[in-house]
């Protein structure tokens, strides 16, 4: 490391830039392509992938999970785990695989993950958090940007955590505007995200600051970025309400039953080509069914039929018969 921040591909992004959030079992290569074809975000993330698993004999299954195509660019690989040495090795491999950046998950609130001392638990284990950041930066060797996604604190807002992170020459810091204790049960606190942005201005002006939480439209994201002077806006669950969310003028509200069924069929076809039943269960598609098969007469009854399908072939036949 030469002491400078390597923002790489991130330097060329528009301001504010829009990011499709990492969502486990959701933002795989298939859904990223579907969203990209509807209206592309400026930046994509993979689902989080465990470095200790990636450096174990079971790695092939995990490598498959982070596969991507040239359509989903720029794409950041998000990693998590416990062992700094595995972060170092994984970072080297991710650079070779062609990812545009590496993000460290320091926000996931899941009970088992936290019990293991990973993700949001690192807010309370700063020594290990720093080891992980430095090992990843060394592995990335300045070839791609290294970033962190975290929350406002563990049990309460704790800005000493963000101050520490901002001293680590990160390319980007994403703040989900809740604490670990909040889980997803209270509204995201954008004024508190703005406080981290003020710290950023003072401590690390080159680190890009991205806000995250409850954004449901591009217009809302633009307004929040302007109000709080943020570089980027990350959107997670909002995409479930509108797959065209990143468009300047989303056509989703007026799309017909046929258009919605066709979009779901495109998703299912790509899913069938990408994942065999063993890699991802057909039931994974049910959460997408709720996204597409909505807002037309009879949608509820169709969802019930579609969600009972036992194979992608059966589901595609049902979709074709009902369009
Ligand atoms: C189903 C699901 C899976 C998620 N998986 C991840 C993940 O793998 N990595 C991560 O950093 N955050 C993950 N998150 C959190 C989101 O990235 C985001 O921070 C959170 O949903 C708040 O943003 P939103 O209100 O726009 O959804 C997940 C959220 C959901 C709903």
pTM attached to this predicted model: 0.98
Residues with CB under 6 A from ligand 1: 21-24, 26, 47-48, 78, 105, 107-108, 149, 176, 212-215, 235-238
CB distance 243 to 252 below 8 Å: yes
Residue 47's pLDDT is 98
Residue range 78-105: mean pLDDT, rounded: 98
Model confidence band, residue 5 (pLDDT cutoffs 50, 70, 90): confident
Helix (H) or strand (E) holding 105: strand 101-106
Distance 312 CA to ligand 1 centre (A): 26
CB distance 194 to 157 below 8 Å: no
Residue 3's pLDDT is 59
- Answer yes or no: is pLDDT of 259 > 90: yes
Helix (H) or strand (E) holding 34: helix 29-39
Q: Is residue 108 among the annotated active site residues?
A: yes
Largest CA distance in the chain: 61
- Each residue of 162-211: pLDDT tens digit? 999 999 999 999 999 999 999 988 999 999 999 999 999 999 999 999 99
SS3 69: coil
- As a whole number of angstroms, the distance between CA 198 and CA 45 comes to 25
> For ligand 1, atom 2, which residue shows the shortest CA distance?
23
Distance 177 CA to ligand 1 centre (A): 12
- Each residue of 74-90: pLDDT tens digit? 999 999 999 999 999 99
Residue range 262-284: mean pLDDT, rounded: 93
- Each residue of 226-258: pLDDT tens digit? 999 999 999 999 999 999 999 999 999 999 999
Model confidence band, residue 302 (pLDDT cutoffs 50, 70, 90): very high
Question: Average pLDDT, whole number, for the chain?
Answer: 96
Model confidence band, residue 2 (pLDDT cutoffs 50, 70, 90): low
Which runs of E-coded beta strand occur in 119-186? Answer: 146-153, 172-179
- Answer yes or no: is pLDDT of 1 > 70: no
Nearest ligand 1 atom to the CA of 215 is: 26
Model confidence band, residue 277 (pLDDT cutoffs 50, 70, 90): low
Model confidence band, residue 17 (pLDDT cutoffs 50, 70, 90): very high
Q: Which residues of 252-267 are buried (b: 16+ CB within 10 A; e: fewer)?
A: beebebeebbbbbbbb
Q: For ligand 1, pick from 18, 19, 20, 21 the residue to mutate: most ligand atoms within 8 Å of CB.
A: 21
């Amino acid at each position: 490391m030469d002491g400078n921040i390597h923002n790489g591909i991130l330097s060329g992004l528009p301001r504010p830039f829009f990011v499709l959030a990492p969502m486990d079992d959701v933002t795989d290569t298939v859904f990223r392509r579907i969203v990209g074809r509807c209206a592309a975000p400026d930046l994509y993330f993979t689902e989080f992938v465990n470095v200790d698993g990636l450096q174990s004999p079971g790695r092939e299954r995990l490598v498959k999970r982070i596969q991507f195509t040239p359509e989903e660019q720029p794409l950041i690989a998000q990693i998590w785990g416990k062992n700094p040495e595995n972060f170092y090795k994984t970072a080297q491999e991710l650079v070779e695989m062609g990812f545009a950046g590496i993000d460290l998950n320091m926000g996931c609130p899941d009970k088992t993950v936290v019990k293991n001392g990973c993700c949001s638990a690192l807010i309370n284990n700063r020594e290990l958090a720093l080891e992980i950041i430095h090992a990843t930066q060394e592995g990335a060797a300045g070839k791609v940007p290294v970033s962190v996604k975290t929350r406002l604190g563990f049990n309460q807002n704790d800005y000493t955590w963000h101050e520490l992170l901002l001293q680590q020459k990160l390319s980007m810091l994403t703040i989900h505007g809740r604490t670990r204790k909040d889980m997803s049960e209270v509204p995201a606190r954008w004024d508190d995200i703005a406080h981290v942005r003020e710290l950023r201005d003072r401590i690390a002006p080159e680190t890009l600051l991205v806000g995250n939480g409850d954004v449901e439209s591009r217009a809302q994201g633009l307004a929040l970025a302007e109000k709080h002077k943020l570089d980027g806006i990350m959107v997670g669950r909002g995409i479930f309400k509108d797959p065209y969310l990143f468009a300047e003028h989303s056509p989703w509200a007026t799309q017909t039953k046929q258009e919605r069924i066709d979009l779901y069929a495109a998703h299912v076809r790509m899913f069938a080509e990408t994942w065999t039943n063993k890699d991802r269960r057909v039931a994974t598609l049910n959460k997408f069914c709720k996204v597409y098969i909505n807002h037309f007469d009879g949608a509820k009854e169709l969802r019930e039929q579609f969600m009972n399908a036992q194979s992608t072939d059966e589901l595609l036949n049902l979709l074709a018969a009902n369009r």
